Chains A and B, each alone.
Chain A
Amino acid sequence: MMDCSRVHPLLSGHVDNALSPREALEVERHLGGCHACASLLNELYKSVAVTRSAPRALAPEGFMEALALRLEQEEARSRQLSLAGLLVWLSSRRAMVWGAAAAALALVALTLRSAPPPSPGALDAPPPEVASVRLVKEHHVALSIASPLEDLSAANLSAHFHADAQ
């Protein structure tokens, strides 16, 4: 037979008719020979009945109207939060665009700063376009000397060229 310590936790289920057939049988068998547990069960029955008979408080008058107002406020707040969230998102996107542009500029600046310095001799050399002009001049002079009749200004040009070279 079950002892009292094992029966007590089952008494609550007994009150609710929620014991398994086997548990119910064992509890009933124990109660038949244990006055203390039978008394406890009676006490539980009464106590639970008193609890179940307790009056229920009713929601205050105007509860639904107050709730409707609160729901409207919550909706409005939710819309504001959504708008604020959108603005934050947009501003964060704009910040990202500006950030990317700044990073690109910084990269260009770093690239230029880190490019190798020009060699000292390169500073004295004529600009590339002057050299090409000089090449054209030399070619023209050579042709004019070879065929002076075809270009009467060749001799003057040759003299001018040689003066420049000196």
Chain B
Amino acid sequence: MYAVADADARLVLRCQSNDLAAFNDIVARYQHRVYGYVCRMVGHTPEAEDLTQETFVKAYQGIRTFQSRASLNTWLYRIATNLCIDYARRAARTRGMTESLSAERPGEEHEGDLELPDVRFDPLTITLNHELQAHLNEAIEGLPQRLRAVLLLHDIEGLAYDEIASAVGCPLGTVKSRLFHARMAVRGRLAPYIAAIPSPAHAGLAVTR
């Protein structure tokens, strides 16, 4: 983790010294992560590539004044998140949707269904079949943008709570709350499909970074 942060900091310093070949290294290092995140945020559309490019264009324009208080990783995700939310807002307006992206959906703050099997399983053994993958995609795409961003940044991109708070610009408590509601919503969608998955012994899922 620290080695990655150090390498990133060195790349940023090189960029700030007008060594723009270093920016290529940043793109090479993060293109897949940013693109994967954007795809999850806006769907696999032509706009996903465009928004990913836009993320790096903004990073290129701002790299000279980038302060290393935040990590490069977090900074790139913040740019991408803002672009995706703006894009979704514009798309919603275009479609004439009245749903407010800033509002939580009704019921998200409430408890979900509690009748569940008493099993746990090792995530490392999971190989998603196509059907489960499709339901997961639907569950994630059904989340409001702000919940979706937190879920993706934590459970797929592997950011810590405080890094997510920095990336999406909200307090730590809000990150935890959004993550909980997002996970509950996904669990609700996947429940019928994961009930049959066998579970070995109890295993913690703390992200290892």
Contact = CB atoms under 8 A, between A and B. Distances in A.
B176 interface: yes
A35 B206 CA distance: 23
Q: Is the interface of A mostly helix, strand, loop or mixed?
A: helix
A39 B117 contact: yes
User: How extensive is the interface on chain A, given as a class?
Assistant: 35 or more
A40 B126 contact: no
Contacts of A46: 119-121, 187, 190, 194, 197, 199
B119 A42 contact: yes
Contacts of A58: 32, 35-36
Nearest to B194: A46
B156 interface: yes
User: How extensive is the interface on chain B, given as a class?
Assistant: 35 or more
Contacts of B115: 36, 39
A149 B120 CA distance: 146
B73 interface: no
Contacts of B61: 74
Contacts of A39: 114-118
B44 A45 contact: no
Interface stretch (B10-18, B51-59, B96-104): B51-59
A52 B205 contact: yes
B111 A8 contact: yes
B207 to A, nearest CB: 7
A35 to B, nearest CB: 7
Most A CB within 10 A of own CB, among B35, B115, B121, B155 = B155
A52 B156 contact: yes
A155 B155 CA distance: 126
Given A36-B114, A39-B116, A55-B128, A16 B207 contact: yes
A37 B114 contact: yes
A113 to B, nearest CB: 56
A71 B61 CA distance: 9
Interface string B30-53: 011111100110001000110011
Contacts of A4: 111
B186 interface: yes
Nearest to A56: B36
Given A46-B190, A58-B32, 14 more contacts: A5-B111, A15-B204, A39-B115, A43-B116, A45-B199, A47-B190, A49-B121, A53-B128, A54-B136, A57-B44, A59-B52, A60-B49, A68-B24, A71-B56
15 contacts: A12-B183, A18-B161, A39-B116, A39-B117, A42-B199, A44-B184, A45-B121, A50-B190, A51-B140, A51-B183, A52-B205, A54-B136, A56-B32, A57-B39, A57-B40
Interface of A: 4-5, 8-9, 11-13, 15-18, 35-40, 42-60, 63-64, 66-68, 70-71, 74
Interface of B: 24, 27-28, 31-36, 39-40, 44, 48-49, 52-53, 56-57, 60-61, 111-112, 114-123, 126-128, 132-133, 136-137, 140, 151, 154-156, 161, 176-177, 179-180, 183-184, 186-187, 190-191, 194, 197, 199, 203-207
